[in-house]
Amino acid sequence: MLLLTWSALSTVLVGLIIPRLTAADTATSRAQVALDTLQTWYNATSGLWDTCGWWNGANCMTVIADLAAIDPSVSDTANYVFDNTLRMAPAHNPNPGPENQVHSRDGVAANSSEWLDSAYDDDAWWALAWIAAYDVTNDDTYLGLAQGIFSSLTKAWGTRCGGGGLQWSSTSSYINAITNELFLTVAAHLANRASSDSERDTYIGWAQKEWDWFAAQGFIGSNYTINDGLLDNCQNNGQTVWSYNQGVILGGLVELNRAAPNDTYLESANKIAQAAIMTLSDANLVIHDVCEPNCAPDATQFKGIFIRNLHMLHQDSPNDLYKKVIEACANSIWEYDRNYLNQLGVNWAGLVASIDASTHSSALDALVAAVTI
Ligand SMILES: *[C@@H]1O[C@H](CO)[C@@H](O)[C@H](O)[C@H]1NC(C)=O
Ligand SMILES: *[C@@H]1O[C@H](CO)[C@@H](O)[C@H](O)[C@H]1NC(C)=O
Ligand SMILES: *[C@@H]1O[C@H](CO)[C@@H](O)[C@H](O)[C@H]1NC(C)=O
Ligand SMILES: *[C@@H]1O[C@H](CO)[C@@H](O)[C@H](O)[C@H]1NC(C)=O
C-alpha cells in the first residue's frame, strides 16, 4: 500500500503545479495577454482601435510602447503599430485642419500638422504617443512629430488668466487642467530628448513657464486635488476631480525635475499623488472615477493615465503607498474586471458590462505599471 502523507502530496503538487501557474500568470504575461486582446480591436485600415476614439488611440499606442520598452518580446507588435498608425491614422483625424483635407500618407514624409484636430489636449496626447514610440525605437521621425505638434501648441499660449496657459481648443474658451498639464509634460519630455542645449533650454523654459502659471492659478484645491478647470473669471470651477488630472501633472513634474532639478517639483507631485489616492481609491486601494460604470467615451481612459504617471513618480520618488496602489489596481483588474475573452472593463473593482478598447487599454496601463514596480 502506498501511503502518501498530505505534506508529501502537496510537495508533489507544488512541484507540478506552481511552476506552470507562475509561467502563465506573472505581471509580464498578464500584460502580454492583454496586449493581444487590445490588438483584436486594432484596425489596420484606420490605424486606430475600433470602439474608441481618436485621442484614446494615442493612449492605446502609448501603452503598447510602454510595454515594448520593458518587454522586447512585444516589439514586433509595437513597431508594426507605430509604422501602420503613422501611415493610416491621419486620414481618420476627426477634425483635420483646412489644409489637411486630402490625406495620402503613403510615401510622403511624416507631417505633424496631420495630427492636429484643433483640440489642444488631443494634439498633446499624440505628441506623448510619438515620444513613447521614439523611446523604444530611437526613430527621429517619431520625435519630430512630437516636436512639430508641440511647436503648434505654443502658438495657442494665451493671455487671459494670469497672462498665460492654453484654452481647451481653438473654438472653446474653457481653460482646463488637462490641456495645460499636457503642455507641461510634452515640453518636459522634449527637454529630456533634445539634441542641443539651446533646444533643451527652450523646452525647459516652456515647461517652467507652464508650471509656474498652473500653480499660480486656482486649479489645485486646498487639499491638493486638481479640479477640471477654471471659470470665466479664472477661479477654480470646482468641477470633477478626474483621475487623469491628478496623473498627467505627476509625469510632467518628474520629467521637468529630470531636465532642471528643483526639489519643489517632486514635493508638489507627491502632495498631489497622495491627495489623489486619498480621494479616488477604495478600501482596497483600487482607483475609481465618479462616472463608473457610465464613463464612455472619454473618462474610460482616465485611470490608466493616472497609474502610468504615478508609476513615473514612483521611479524617481519611490513610496510604498504608490507600489501598493499600482499592485492593488493590477491585481484587482486581473481577478475581478476581466471577462472570458481577457477583455478588461471600466470598474477595476468588478466586472461590468461596458468594455471597449478604451476601458481595456486603460486597464492595461495598470498591468504594464505592475511589471516594473
Ligand atoms: C476599420 O476602419 C475602416 C476605416 O475607418 C472602417 O471602414 C471599418 O468599418 C473598420 N472595421 C471595423 C471592423 O470596424
Ligand atoms: C505639412 O502639411 C501642411 C498641411 O498640408 C503643409 O502646409 C506643410 O507645408 C507641410 N509641412 C511639411 C514640412 O511638409
Ligand atoms: C524651484 O522652483 C520654484 C517653483 O517653481 C521656484 O520658485 C524656485 O525659484 C526654484 N528654485 C530654484 C533654485 O530655481
Ligand atoms: C479634496 O477636495 C476635492 C474637491 O475639490 C474633493 O472632491 C475631495 O474629496 C477632497 N479630498 C479629500 C481627501 O478630502
Residue 109's pLDDT is 66
pLDDT, tens digit, 9 for 90 and up, residues 313-341: 999 999 999 999 999 999 999 999 999 99
Which of 48, 50, 51, 52 to probe ligand 1 with, by most ligand atoms within 8 A of CB? Answer: 50
Q: Which ligand is nearest to the CA of 211?
A: 3
Burial of 309 (0-12, 13-18, 19+ CB in 10 A): buried
In sequence order, the β-bridge partners of residue 220 are 226
Contact between 287 and 348 (Cβ < 8 Å): yes
CA–CA separation, 117 and 89 (whole Å): 12
Q: For residues 119 and 53, is the Cβ–Cβ distance under 8 A?
A: no
Q: With contact defined as beta carbons under 8 Å apart, do 180 and 167 qualify?
A: no
**Ligand 4 pocket check: which of 226, 241, 277 to mutate, most ligand atoms within 8 Å of Cβ?**
241
Q: Where are the domains of the chain?
A: 24-371
Residue 102 has pLDDT above 80, yes or no: no
C-alpha cell at 157: 499660449
Distance between CA 299 and CA 127 in Å, rounded?
20
Ligand 3 contact via 10 beta carbon (within 6 Å)? no
Q: What fold does the segment set 24-371 form as a domain?
A: Glycosyltransferase (1.50.10)
* Residues 179-218 pLDDT 10s: 999 999 999 999 999 999 999 999 999 999 999 999 999 9
In ligand 2, which atom is closest to the CA atom of 111?
1
The reply to whether ligand 3 has any atom less than 6 angstroms from the CB of 40 is: no
Whole-angstrom Cα distance, residue 72 to residue 77?
A: 10
